[in-house]
Structure 1
Amino acid sequence: MAIGYARPDVADMVLRVFDRSVHPELFDSLRVIRIAVGPHWATLRLNTHGHVLEFRTDESVVTEVATSRHSPLPLQMKMIDRRLIGYRTHMIDSSGVRYHCSYQLEAVPPDIYLQLHREMELDARSATLSAILPGSSPCSPDCISMLRADVLREGLVVHAFHTFPDNGAVLRTQTLFELL
């Protein structure tokens, strides 16, 4: 029996940010990469629902999770818990790290969605991390997730893209972890 992946309904997507690490076994990690940022580390994960970004220094850990609101996540040390809808920005300072995130969830007409999908298929080839999951039916486009990470002198910036074919939607996030 084949096991398929199912994206959650885009209306169920949330952004949760923690002032701690979140156990990786809580996620179905499809791809993982660890990136050195000077003497610090970032771990980037793509999973079936979205992504997990963890930035770790000697003094702090900040973890961003884009996932379904139904995902079992800890309640302790949660700094942000927001539905991913429309366009928003967040900024928090936490023990020597400034976390800054902006996101946009955009639903588009089918013809525009298919054009964006084709462009993202090409972009996924050169992404820092990417995963392509089967769509909900044989006629549905695949679900694409990709991360582009750039190490900066004082931190890390990550651009995330996730497609939701059943909703004709694309979620884009830009996250900056900046050393203070």
Structure 2
Amino acid sequence: MLTVRPKVAELAFQVFGRTMHPELYHLHKTRRIERTAYEAKIDITNCGHVITWRAAGLTICEVASSANQPLPTKRQLFRKQLKGTHSERIQCHGGVRYSTRFQLEPVGADMFWSFQQQLGNGPTEGLLHRFDSSGRMALGALSYIHVDTRCRSMSVQAIHTFPDDYAIVKIESVFSLPDA
């Protein structure tokens, strides 16, 4: 299975009201979170990430992947091509809320390599995966995911780099339950 990134033009951002089968992806890093009110699984995949959050009998699954990745359409809440900047909010049954803001940021070569180096040598408290080089560039892509948990909410910041395109994908998502 491919361990380098797809092209930026091939990226999609999708949210489902169901889980995704793990065999649909090549997983590189995984973290499980269990709190009293919810549980979550965060995966860095070959194309981006999959975040599955379960609470109050509901499942919200965020997928950043290749648009060519075969995914089911059943219980798909939305799908956007991952380009530009977008914000989405979903109000679910029982007051469960999901919001996200994602952007694809093309940058100059110098800025990209500086950012890539800082990310690769920086934070250690989250999930970090270094991908193989595509052969065109000396360094491979990076994926970094930082998760901040509270009793009734979870905030996720994901950064995925694409060296062949000098592009950075930034995603911030919040999964939350209503106040008790």
Q: 1:111 to 1:54 in 2, by over 3 A?
A: same
Give the Cα separation in 2 of the matches to 1:117 and 1:139. Answer: 13
Q: 1:66 to 1:4 in 2, by over 3 A?
A: closer
Sequence identity (%) = 29
Ranges in structure 1 where 5+ consecutive residues have no aligned partner: none
Instruction: Indicate the SS of the match to 1:25.
Output: helix
Deviations 1:85-109 (A, max 9, x none): 1111000012232110001110111
TM-score, length of structure 2 as denominator length: 0.93
Instruction: Indicate the SS of the match to 1:102.
Output: strand
Give the Cα separation in 2 of the matches to 1:44 and 1:122. Answer: 21
Contact 2:38 2:152 (C-alpha < 8 Å) held by counterparts: no
2:106 corresponding residue in structure 1: 107
Give the Cα separation in 1 of the matches to 2:2 and 2:151. Answer: 41
1:52 corresponding residue in structure 2: 50
Give the Cα separation in 2 of the matches to 1:122 and 1:101. Answer: 27
Ranges in structure 2 where 5+ consecutive residues have no aligned partner: none
Instruction: Indicate the SS of the match to 2:176.
Output: strand
Contact 1:162 1:171 (C-alpha < 8 Å) held by counterparts: yes
Contact 1:4 1:134 (C-alpha < 8 Å) held by counterparts: no
Contact 1:147 1:161 (C-alpha < 8 Å) held by counterparts: yes
Aligned residues: 177
Give the Cα separation in 2 of the matches to 1:117 and 1:25. Answer: 29
Contact 2:85 2:102 (C-alpha < 8 Å) held by counterparts: yes
TM-score, length of structure 1 as denominator length: 0.93
Where has structure 1 moved over 6 Å in runs of 4 or more? none
> How big is the shift at 1:111?
0.6
2:22 corresponding residue in structure 1: 24
Deviations 1:47-74 (A, max 9, x none): 1100000100141000000000000111
Give the Cα separation in 2 of the matches to 1:139 and 1:165. Answer: 7
Correspondence 1:11-90 to 2 at 5 A: 11-90=9-88
Deviations 1:109-154 (A, max 9, x none): 101111011111023x514211101121174321100100000232
Give the Cα separation in 1 of the matches to 2:23 and 2:32. Answer: 16
Instruction: Indicate the SS of the match to 1:119.
Output: helix
Give the Cα separation in 2 of the matches to 1:139 and 1:84. Answer: 23
**What CA RMSD, in Å, does the superposition of the two structures yield over aligned residues?**
1.4
